[in-house]
Amino acid sequence: MRKDPLEIIEEIFRLLEQESSALSINQIAQKTGLHNITVKKYIHLIEVVRQEPTVEIIKTSHSVIVRVKKEGYTREVETYG
């Protein structure tokens, strides 16, 4: 069964917060039980989001809203979960 993408990201962050040293993608995959390709994709996603400091994520009971705010520009993407 597929995991929710937000759960995957939270799981990766939980693991990284618990570890005292850096982990490879294979180590993260092994410790989380996720496939290493999945981990690689989500690490890339985290890198992209971290480069954009104006990303705001709003969770509601029915959806997740992602808002990118730049000077003079706002873009929203809403996903239903």
**pLDDT digits (tens), the chain, 81 positions:** 788 888 999 999 999 999 989 999 999 999 999 999 999 999 988 888 777 667 777 788 877 777 777 666 555 555 554
- Going by the DSSP 8-state scheme, the letter that residue 53 receives in this structure is T
pLDDT of residue 74: 54
Which residues on neighbouring strands pair with residue 59, listed in sequence order?
A: 64
Long-range contacts of the stretch 32-40 (C-beta < 8 A, 24+)? 34/3, 34/8, 38/8, 39/12
Burial label, 28 (beta-carbon count in 10 A; 0-12, 13-18, 19+): buried
